[in-house]
Amino acid sequence: MIELIKGNIIEAKTFGDPAITQNGYLAAKDGVVLGVFSALPEQYANLPVTDYSGQLILQGFCDMHLHAPQYPMLGMGMDLPLMDWLKTYTYKTEARFADSDFARGTYQRLAAELVKNGTTRVCIYSSTHADATRILMQELERAGIGGFAGKVNMDRDSCECQEGTEESKRETLRWLEECAQFKKIKPILTPRFTPSCTNELMGWLGKLAEERGLYVQSHLSENYKEIELVKRLHPDCEQYWQTYDKYGLWKEHTIMAHCVHSDAREQQAMIDHNVLCVHCPDSNINICSGFAPVRQMKNRGVWLALGSDIAGGAQLPMLQVITGCLRMSKARAIATDGAEPFLTVGEAYYLATSAGARYFGDRDGFAPGNPLHAVVVSDASMPPSARTLSVQERFERAVYLADDRAITAVYGNGQKIK
Amino acid sequence: MIELIKGNIIEAKTFGDPAITQNGYLAAKDGVVLGVFSALPEQYANLPVTDYSGQLILQGFCDMHLHAPQYPMLGMGMDLPLMDWLKTYTYKTEARFADSDFARGTYQRLAAELVKNGTTRVCIYSSTHADATRILMQELERAGIGGFAGKVNMDRDSCECQEGTEESKRETLRWLEECAQFKKIKPILTPRFTPSCTNELMGWLGKLAEERGLYVQSHLSENYKEIELVKRLHPDCEQYWQTYDKYGLWKEHTIMAHCVHSDAREQQAMIDHNVLCVHCPDSNINICSGFAPVRQMKNRGVWLALGSDIAGGAQLPMLQVITGCLRMSKARAIATDGAEPFLTVGEAYYLATSAGARYFGDRDGFAPGNPLHAVVVSDASMPPSARTLSVQERFERAVYLADDRAITAVYGNGQKIK
């Protein structure tokens, strides 16, 4: 079935200004993009058109790093130092997901919030619980969200959340068996981060990743104390990334969140192995991790996308993550006296869409062959403007001002899901 | 008439943790606070109670620096350097307010947005236009917002917005005559900033301020280029603040926005003259002005409150200004390696409420004798929490997550205005 959508189409085709097709047509067949057209192609002339004229059609957002079981603590404990925050809130909250009913209600709500805000694909952490992870995946899939979800592995120094090593292995295998039922949302191995996993578990996960061709997600170089701790735990590794590499976890499509303090060598290791770095601006500032060198990493060729990182981040909507990214890039520009120029709206939009979509095999923008992921934004209720605005200006304003009320439709994997 | 309001009452009594009265009663007579009570006092036992049980009752917000005629450009041009932004957007937008119909529609909308978001008092800039300024004051007053508004004076280097010196004087006097009609919103003299006013105009405004007992608002030490320019224009002044002092504009209750780069001496001059410094976190980051030393200024005794500074700031809701302030204080903490600790939620709440309310003669918190300014917030639609939360936790979460939908009632100067 061919679907035609009309509106102002805004594509992140490159890391730069978006490509804009004013009053254009986006065509898809069976949920797969056929192309973007400035005028309706003759062969589609008799087909019905879904008319979003006057509205903005953006690409669906990819949230490449977030913690589902931290959703209940969104916006709380932000005055606490990291370790107190983990102990007072994070581990206790995650432990609650042993209760499947609590997990069901929470994840239903989370999935609905994601869709409402235009996030159509995620790479998401669950808790250690195999059952709650299955429930999370069910609720995401039911809501129409695609991507990867991972049962967290953590058998060291993790308070209420800690598993035994054997338990962690057994539950991981049990969870993986149950993942066959999912079509849109796939399993990804998720050692929480080096300090929370024994070497034995890390090694076992690395082998499992290889045997089953699974991707891996974890955290890297978020703050100085963590980096020092990793050094003490792995004195044989010169750099943090090598603690993953040692166990076969540093490889093509591995996702590393944060990388705030990764130096040129660690960045090069990402490039060499096609590791995806996920920048989480709101988390970086809330937890005082630092100003990530986003412009520098992009210039060097690191593959970089964005994440909300709830609940270190307090903002689930990716439009807020984009403006958070812009503001944090300005903080970096201030801190480097302008040596690292701030990001533009178009650049941050690229990081929130096409850069993440590549993880799922897409090409940049609404490229033919991509599954259709789109977000329709109305700016009808924005402040009255002093003159006629260009679509580019309206796009920039929408990025800063639109909330879920302005998002009038969302398409996830070809389906209209809002 | 005595009014009784029931709920979880959260008062910014000091620059620190808020004072919380759980399931308490806030009593007011003819719009003036009588007190906060943990149980209903006997003498009020037979009076009707407005019941917000389970909700949070916050103080009304004071937005102590914003540009009304920049509302139409909210969220636009954020990628531009300051001078280009001023020329491409600001001056052109402000010039549109020569059209009284455009002013009426825009200011009606702005006033409604302020109320919806719990801002009950402002110190606000208009454009140079006397008529549009009167319209702004009418619309604010009609919406129930109090405070001060100023016709802007600028007779130098201001493109489309520039006035002649005589014109500026004449229009200022004409505007002041019309201000007699207002009860809640009062005139304040508003030389835009030193570079946009001739010495003659500055001197005239200083005399006018003295003759009529008027307050003054302007900008100070926002960025380095501006500070250099001021030095060139006033070589006789060692510091920026002295260019205001020279003309009698630096005095009790003068408001200075930004002060990002004010050093210890300039800060001391604020303290000595009881000048109010208005910190505008979102503007500071959007325009790359720098990380204001808020903790340092507070420690030294500077009188400091918050402003949205739209449209340098892209966020009108003061709850967003509070979280912006928290985030920017963390940027300052990062930039100073922790030497200047970040602000807590309670501290930023104080800056957004009681600190500004002092400008209007209030005492901190819901003190007896204060006019009633209150914002009722429901957190019923926040994420499901993992355990029972304290009121303090719910307050912190509301600060991070609540938008206008969560604000169920607003009281401005004793009247229910939402």
- What is the per-residue pLDDT for B157? 85
CB contact under 8 A, B342 and A288: yes
- Distance, CA of B314 to CA of A402 (rounded, Å): 11
Provide the b/e sequence for A200-232 (b: ≥16 CB within 10 Å).
ebbebbbebbeeeebbbbbbbbbbeebbebbee
- What is the per-residue pLDDT for A84? 85
Q: Is the pLDDT of residue B81 over 90?
A: no
- What is the per-residue pLDDT for B159? 81
CB contact under 8 A, A386 and B342: no
Confidence of residue B391 (pLDDT cuts 50, 70, 90): very high
- Distance, CA of B107 to CA of B306 (rounded, Å): 21
Report chain A residues whose CB lies below 8 A from the CB of B400. 74-76, 78, 314
CB contact under 8 A, B345 and A109: no
Q: Is the pLDDT of residue B203 over 90?
A: yes
Indicate the average pLDDT of chain A: 97
Q: Is the pLDDT of residue B346 over 80?
A: yes
Nearest to B285 among A282, A327, A400 (CB): A327
Residues 337-396 of B with CB under 8 A from A: 342, 344-345, 382-387, 389, 393, 396
Tell which residue, B64, B2, B58, B55, has the closest CA to residue B33.
B2
- Distance, CA of B77 to CA of B87 (rounded, Å): 11
CB distance from A142 to chain B under 8 Å? no
- What is the per-residue pLDDT for B84? 85
pLDDT digits (tens, 9 = 90+) for B6-52: 999 999 999 999 999 999 999 999 999 999 999 999 999 999 999 99
* Residues A61-352, CATH architecture: Alpha-Beta Barrel (3.20)
Nearest to A76 among B102, B286, B396 (CB): B396
- Name the strands in the sheet holding B217-220, side by side, starting at the edge strand that comes first in the sequence: B217-220, B255-258, B276-279, B303-306
CB contact under 8 A, B399 and A105: no
Task: State the smallest CA–CA distance between residue A35 and chain B in angstroms.
Answer: 30
What number of residues does chain B have?
Answer: 418
Nearest to A401 among B75, B333, B389 (CB): B75
CB contact under 8 A, A401 and B74: yes
* Pair B242, B199: CB distance under 8 Å: no
Contacts with B359 (C-beta within 8 Å, 6 or more apart), sequence order: B62, B64, B123, B253, B255, B276, B305
Task: State the smallest CA–CA distance between residue B302 and chain A in angstroms.
Answer: 23
CB contact under 8 A, B383 and A92: no
Nearest to A72 among B345, B386, B396 (CB): B386
Spans of chain A below 70 pLDDT: none
The DSSP string of B51-96 is EEEEEEEEEPEEEEEEEGGGGGGTT-STTS-HHHHIIIIIHHHHHG
Task: State the smallest CA–CA distance between residue B79 and chain A in angstroms.
Answer: 6
Chain A's closest residue to B326, CA to CA, is A286
- Name the strands in the sheet holding B119-125, side by side, starting at the edge strand that comes first in the sequence: B61-67, B119-125, B146-150, B185-187
- Domain ranges in chain B? 2-59+363-416, 61-352
CB contact under 8 A, B396 and A109: no
Contacts with B381 (C-beta within 8 Å, 6 or more apart), sequence order: B405, B406
SS3 A2: strand
* Pair B290, A335: CB distance under 8 Å: no
- What is the per-residue pLDDT for B276? 98
Task: State the smallest CA–CA distance between residue B315 and chain A in angstroms.
Answer: 8
- Distance, CA of B238 to CA of A88 (rounded, Å): 50
Q: Are strands A49-59 and A374-377 parallel, antiparallel or unpaired?
A: antiparallel
Tell which residue, B83, B78, B307, has the closest CA to residue A322.
B78
Please determine, for the modelled complex, whether the ipTM score is greater than 0.85.
yes
pLDDT digits (tens, 9 = 90+) for B363-376: 999 999 999 999 99
Phi (first) and psi of residue A390, to 5 degrees: -75, 160
Single pTM value for the model: 0.98
* Residues B2-59+363-416, CATH architecture: Roll (2.30)
pLDDT digits (tens, 9 = 90+) for B222-256: 999 999 999 999 999 999 999 999 999 999 999 99
Task: Name the residue with tokens 């059209």.
Answer: B99
B165-183: average pLDDT: 97
- What is the per-residue pLDDT for A160? 82
Common-topology check for domains B2-59+363-416 and B61-352: no
Name the token pair of B388: 């029972």
Task: State the smallest CA–CA distance between residue B94 and chain A in angstroms.
Answer: 9
Chain A's closest residue to B403, CA to CA, is A403
pLDDT digits (tens, 9 = 90+) for A307-329: 999 999 999 999 999 999 999 99
- What is the per-residue pLDDT for B161? 85
Confidence of residue B88 (pLDDT cuts 50, 70, 90): confident
